[in-house]
Each structure stands twice: as C-alpha cells, then as structure tokens.
Amino acid sequence: MPRGKCRVCGREAEYWVPWANAWFCHDHFIEYYDKRVRRVWEKYFPRGHRKVLVAVSGGKDSVALLYSISKLLGDSGLYYHALFIDLGIPGYSRESLRIVEKNAGRLDIEVEVARLSDYGFTMEDVYRLVRARRIRRPVCSICGMVKRYLMNRYAYEHGYDLVLTGHNLDDMIGFTLSSIVSGRIEDLVKLKPYVEGSGNLVARGKPILFMYGVENKWYVEAVDAEIVGGQCPFRAGESSINVELRDAVLAADKKHPGLAILMARNIVDKLIPRIRAPEKKLKSCSVCGYPSSTDPCGFCRLRERVSALLSSQE
Ligand code: AMP
Ligand code: ZN
Ligand code: ZN
C-alpha cells in the first residue's frame, strides 16, 4: 500500500491503522493511542485513587502502558511508581529489570522491586521441581499465581490503592474463547478493565485491554522505548487452544478491521454484567492473612511445599 498522509495533520504518515481506517504520522499515532487509553481510564476507572503501581515486566505491552499511562497519571496529579517483580529467573529477571529501570528512568518514574526470594524461594527452584515432577502443575500457571499474589501483597504493604497491568486485547480474546469452550464462564469476570479492592485486596485495572498487541509494538517503537528481547527461558508454550482461538479472531480482524475491539467491548459491557458469578466467599489465608478461596492460599501452599522439597534434597 503506498504511504498515505496523516489523517490529522496531512503530513507524510508512518502508521496505517486498519481499525481506525487511517494513516497517522509519528506524533499523531502516539496521540491516537493515548486518547484511546484515556477513554478507557475515564469510562471504567473511578476517581479517588491516590497511589498507583504500574506493573511492568519489560515486555512490549506493559512498557507501552507505562509510557502512555504516565502522562495521564501525571496530569491527574496521582502518586505513581512502577513495580517490577523479580521472580529469580536466571539472566532473564536481571535483564528485564535493567530494561524496566531504563524506561522508567527516561520517564522519571521510580521503580519498586518485589522479590520472590524474600519468601525463601525463586521460580528457578519451582522450575526444577516441576521438571523433576515433584510439583505437578505447569510452571507458567504457578508463575501467574505468584505474580498476582506478589503484586497485591506488595501494593497493600506499601500503601498503594490501585495496581495496573498491561494485559492486551489479543490475550483477552484468547482467554474469553477458551473459557467459553471449557465452560468456565465465571472466569470471564476476570476480564473487567477495573476490579475494585476491599480489605487487603487492592483494586486492579487493565487500561490497555482494548489495545492490540501489534499496536503496543508500534507504540514502543514510536516512543523509542527498549523492551526485553527474548522470552522467559522457563516458558513452556502457551495453552495452544488459547493461541489458536486468538489467532482465528485476529485473522478475521484482518478482513474486518476492528472486529476484535468490538468483540472485547461487548464482552466487557454486555456479556460480563450478565454473568452471575457464584458467590465465591473469599477466606483469609490462616498463614499470611491475604484473601483466597482456599486455606492456606495457593502461594502459602506452594511456599510450604517448595521449602519441604528443597530441605529434603539437602
Ligand atoms: P503475563 O502474566 O506475563 O501475561 O503479564 C501480564 C501483566 O502482568 C503484564 O502486562 C505486566 O503488567 C504484569 N507483569 C508480568 N510479569 C511481571 C513482572 N515480572 N514484573 C511486573 N509486572 C509484571
Ligand atoms: Zn500527523
Ligand atoms: Zn497465604
């Protein structure tokens, strides 16, 4: 396709955005992206938060989130820092932290680090035990649980009242369809762009839930941000059903640009409000005191098991 002119200023454009049916120059692409994030913020996030943590892994999605949301949070006069979770993945965690610090430094944002090793183990220990079949659960699923736990606990202990993550549109589509396929309809409520907190459960939000993965990639290029190059060395491949369903929708989106956004919007605005999630009474974990559907919570059970297995190996 020959390069067009920017829809806003008429200058030579750099980005063709099919779902906007428009070309944008560098600056106006950034503006277009920021406006869409701002709309999500204004529509779904209540006012009144004071201290915000932006969880940044160093990947394209959360780095795009950090750049875009920092303008908005700064304008709103909110106190905010970035959060990096150091899972103790050899090489990868250190490199990711370097990249998060580099981006945050450019934006003049402080980085806080939550360390899994403070709890006596690392994801490397978990990985080894999974490989040795001493723990039977996929390592990425354990890692996801650990990250959610640490994000919430760190935020609560340091007085934050909102945690933001970089979940994107592509993943939300894959997650939705695979939840439908397997009948886990209540799981869809996890896709709300904003979930309020209570007690020691801190509110959570996903401001770039309606942004395509590829848009986040263009955005980090446009703002000239650095992102983590490789993949997590422990990554065992995503659940293939998720990926295939996601790719099927993204392929349909190529012929009908914006289809995935429309679908996501309807999931959030029409479908989720109709789901009557069974009253899952959250208990407080008798070990750590954080909310969980089981007692002890998943994190404390993991911690206990890893520590027992590691000491039996000594
Ligand atoms: P994932 O679970 O890898 O799909 O990541 C989802 C979101 O969680 C990312 O967009 C980040 O906001 C956040 N996240 C994942 N890993 C980390 C990490 N190591 N440190 C801080 N935030 C993270
Ligand atoms: Zn322009
Ligand atoms: Zn616990």
Q: pLDDT at position 82, please?
A: 98
Domain ranges, residue 305: 282-314
Query: What value does the mean pLDDT of the chain take?
Result: 95
Average pLDDT rounded to a whole number, residues 244-264: 97
- Judged against a pLDDT cut of 90, whether residue 203 lies above it is answered with yes
Among 57-61, 146-150, 185-189, whose mean pLDDT is lowest?
185-189
Q: Which amino acid is at 83?
A: L
In which band, very low, low, confident or very high, does the pLDDT at 237 lie, cut at 50, 70 and 90?
Answer: low
- On whether both 223 and 292 belong to a single domain, the answer is no
Spacing, Cα 149 to ligand 2 middle (Å): 42
Q: Is residue 26 part of a domain?
A: no
Q: How far is the CA of 294 from the centre of ligand 3 (A)?
A: 9
Residues 286 and 273 in one domain: no
- Residue 10, in any domain of the structure: no
Task: Kindly give the distance from the C-alpha atom of residue 290 to the centroid of ligand 3, in angstroms, as a whole number.
Answer: 6
Q: Are residues 264 and 286 in the same domain?
A: no
Does one domain contain both 241 and 127? yes
Model confidence band, residue 265 (pLDDT cutoffs 50, 70, 90):
very high
Share of the chain above pLDDT 90, in %: 93
Over residues 30-44, the mean pLDDT reads 98
The answer to whether position 25 is within a domain reads no
In this structure, the answer to whether residues 286 and 270 fall within a common structural domain is no
Same domain for 300 and 253:
no
> Do 54 and 39 touch, CB atoms closer than 8 A?
no
| Residue from 52, 54, 56 to probe ligand 1 pocket by mutation (most atoms less than 8 Å from CB) | 56
Instruction: State the Cα angle at 263 between 249 and 187, rounded to 5°.
Output: 95
Do residue 274 and residue 286 come from a single domain? Answer: no
Query: What was the pLDDT predicted at 228?
Result: 97
* 79-to-11, 74, 157, 164 alpha-carbon distances in Å: 37, 8, 16, 13
* Residue count of the chain: 314
User: Ligand 1: which of 97, 147, 152, 243 to mutate, judged by most atoms within 8 Å of the beta carbon?
Assistant: 147
The mean pLDDT value for 149-177 works out to: 97
| Residue 55 falls inside a structural domain | yes
Per-residue pLDDT for 277 more than 90? no
CATH number at residue 88: 3.40.50.620
Shortest-distance ligand to the CA of residue 164: 1
Nearest CA to ligand 1 atom 14: 57
pLDDT mean over 69-85:
96
- Is residue 62 assigned to a domain? yes
Both 258 and 289 in one domain: the answer is: no
Clarify whether residues 312 and 216 are in a common domain: no
**pLDDT at residue 183 greater than cutoff 90:** yes
Q: Is residue 115 part of a domain?
A: yes
Sheet holding 51-55, edge to edge: 111-115, 79-86, 51-55, 162-164, 203-205, 194-195
- Report if residue 18 sits inside a domain: no
Domain count, the chain: 2
Pocket mutation for ligand 1, best pick of 83, 148, 165 (most atoms within 8 Å of C-beta)? 165
Q: Of the ligands numbered here, which is closest to the C-alpha atom of 166?
A: 1
Q: Is residue 301 part of a domain?
A: yes
Which amino acid type is present at position 23?
A: W
Can the peptide bond before residue 257 be classed as cis, meaning omega within 30 degrees of 0?
no
Closest C-alpha residue for ligand 1 atom 16 = 57
Claim to verify: residue 265 and residue 293 sit in the same structural domain? no
Q: Which atom of ligand 1 is nearest to the CA of 86?
A: 19
List CB-based neighbours of ion ligand 3 within 5 Å.
285, 287-288, 297, 300
Q: 36: how many CB neighbours lie within 10 A of its CB? A: 18
Alpha carbon of 214 to ligand 2 centroid (Å): 20
User: Collapsing DSSP states into helix, strand and coil, what is residue 145?
Assistant: helix
For residues 172 and 49, state if they share a domain: yes
Same domain, 203 and 299: no
Q: Using 50, 70 and 90 to split pLDDT, how confident is the model at 272?
A: very high
Is the pLDDT reported for residue 239 higher than 70?
Answer: no
